[in-house]
């Protein structure tokens, strides 16, 4: 388990801008690699793992600027990078971070007093320390043709669903039968569209759900 090597696009400190922990200072670990194929994805530079894009670990210890680059890192090496920052909340995202076994990394972080949050599409098995907070942002009928797993929905502490139209909410309803009753449900308008935002607001009011507004985009931070 301790020999897992991660391909990482960037490590940087900012605030969490989405979902339950919105506004929380956080260190983001962005993994390289994803085959889900969301058309609105704002990190498409993380999709491909090309050998020519490998860089040193020192270079990825900063925002990537949307560059398609990555470095190999062990859990111990990532812990050293993270200890250079102030935030104690760690967000593991991608790409699709569940390409990787995250148990070695998250166990080390929790043992050192950090709080880990995973952000995943729910289309891969979730291998993570049981103390971690799991945010599933279910990606349904995407180009990669991967199904959202019932096991991923069952592990979710939070379901943060991207919404553009009513059919997206209908598709979410079909998945929620697998979800723990105590899980937080948040709707997130796609691309800050007014029509989608209005739909999310009304649905959250009607169902007593939460609204996730991508705070970092409104205030202009990473």
Residues at the binding site for [4Fe-4S] cluster are: 34, 38, 41
Sequence-separated (6 or more) residues with CB below 8 Å from residue 126: 98, 102, 118, 120, 134, 151, 152, 155
Binding annotation for S-adenosyl-L-methionine: 40-42, 95, 137-139
Nearest to 12 by CA among 61, 74, 46: 61
SS3 184: strand
What's the CA gap between 158 and 18, in Å, rounded? Answer: 11
Q: Are 7 and 200 in contact (CB under 8 A)?
A: no
Binding annotation for substrate: 15-17, 30, 93
Binding annotation for Mg(2+): 43
Binding annotation: 15-17, 30, 34, 38, 40-43, 93, 95, 137-139
CA-CA distances (angstroms) from residue 189 to 8, 11, 163, 185, 206? 27, 26, 5, 13, 16
């Amino acid at each position: 388990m301790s020999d897992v090597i991660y391909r990482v696009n960037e490590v940087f400190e900012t605030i969490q801008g989405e979902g339950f922990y919105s506004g929380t200072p956080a260190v983001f670990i962005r993994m390289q690699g994803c085959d889900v194929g969301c058309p609105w994805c704002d990190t498409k530079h993380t999709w491909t793992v090309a050998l020519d894009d490998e860089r040193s670990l020192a270079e990825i210890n900063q925002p990537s600027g949307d560059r398609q680059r990555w470095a190999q890192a062990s859990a111990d090496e990532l812990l050293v990078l993270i200890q250079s920052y102030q935030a104690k909340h760690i967000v593991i995202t991608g790409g699709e971070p569940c390409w990787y076994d995250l148990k070695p990394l998250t166990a080390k972080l929790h043992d050192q007093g950090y709080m880990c949050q995973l952000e995943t599409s729910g289309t891969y098995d979730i291998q993570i320390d049981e103390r971690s907070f799991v945010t599933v942002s279910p990606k349904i009928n995407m180009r990669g043709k991967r199904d959202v797993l019932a096991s991923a929905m069952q592990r979710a502490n939070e379901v943060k669903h991207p919404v553009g139209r009513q059919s997206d909410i209908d598709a979410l309803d079909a998945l929620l039968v697998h979800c723990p009753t105590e899980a937080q449900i948040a709707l997130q308008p796609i691309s800050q569209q007014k029509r989608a935002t209005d739909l999310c607001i009304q649905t959250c009011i009607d169902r007593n759900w939460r609204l996730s507004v991508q705070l970092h985009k409104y205030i202009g931070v990473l």
